[in-house]
Amino acid sequence: MGLFPAGVSAAKTRIETPNTEAVMMRVRRWRLFFTGKTLARMNRLGEAHSSAPLSWMRQSTSHSVGGHYSSGMPSFDIVSEVNSMEIENAVNIAKKELVNRFDFKGSKAEIILEKNEIKLSAEDQFKIKALVDIVIGKIAKRNISMKNVEACDPDLSPLGHARQVIKIKQGIETETAKKITGFIRDGKFKVTTQIQDSQVRVMGKSRDELQAVMAAVRAQDFPVSVQFQNFRD
């Protein structure tokens, strides 16, 4: 009796084993295929991220005495700014009046604007006082708060020649900023304040609370005029 049933040849019952080398070749091809697609996709993503701003990778935070606040939290800035164009307009109008004033006819009096200073010069203390009155009057008509205008003491020479400087205050000085933050803190508002350069930033979770701070600061009398800018929701 043979090893195979009758009528069945050994050739038909032979189990065909796969060619190992061919199988490994197909596996390598599939690996290369998928690896190539993955690398291409990663390259496309890398190019997209490299052209995007770095802000997508990081979130900035603001630090203050009251805690840590995200830059995305509702906030606003308290500033004290004077419109430089209005100051320039006031000085130009003052110069025109100086030319037409009878009491300054033939005078060497001058009005010079340099950044945030208005420099005056005249022959004597009487004319320098008249110059100050002219300039201050023109500034007041431009709706500029006199809190931000400081007339320094006149400088009188022994020969009678006089000079004087009118300073335009831009920004909130540190001492005034401390008064503002102290006032807000004493008001028990649920906000955090932060002195930044020449302004004060106010941050809070509630818009209503921020509006209440604005109303309180607006009603309070500070050494300089204040405005509110850079509102963020």
List residues bridging with 199 in a β-sheet: 196
Rounded to 5 degrees, what are φ and ψ at 62? -105, 140
CB 136 within 8 A of CB 149: yes
Helix (H) or strand (E) holding 148: none
Q: How far is CA 204 from CA 123, 148, 231, in A?
A: 56, 29, 12
Q: Assign 33 a pLDDT band (cuts: 50, 70, 90).
A: low
Q: Which amino acid is at 26?
A: R
SS3 179: helix
Return the closest-CA partner of residue 199 out of 227, 231, 218, 220: 227
The Cα 135–Cα 92 span in angstroms is 9
User: Maximum CA pair distance of the chain?
Assistant: 147
Q: How many CA atoms lie within 13 A of 213 on its CB side?
A: 32
Confidence of residue 64 (pLDDT cuts 50, 70, 90): very low
Position 24 scores a pLDDT of: 59
pLDDT digits (tens, 9 = 90+) for 107-147: 999 999 999 999 999 999 999 999 999 999 999 999 999 99
pLDDT beyond 50 at 166: yes
Cβ–Cβ < 8 Å for 190, 222: no
pLDDT for 38-49, tens place per residue?
Answer: 445 544 544 444
Confidence of residue 32 (pLDDT cuts 50, 70, 90): low
Note the pTM of the prediction, 2 decimals: 0.66
Name the E strands within the chain. 61-64, 67-70, 75-79, 110-114, 117-122, 149-151, 155-156, 162-168, 192-196, 199-203, 227-232
pLDDT at 84: 95
| pLDDT at position 188 | 94
pLDDT digits (tens, 9 = 90+) for 65-97: 344 445 578 999 999 999 999 999 999 999 999
pLDDT of 57 reads 28
Residue 118 burial (10 A CB sphere; 0-12, 13-18, 19+): buried
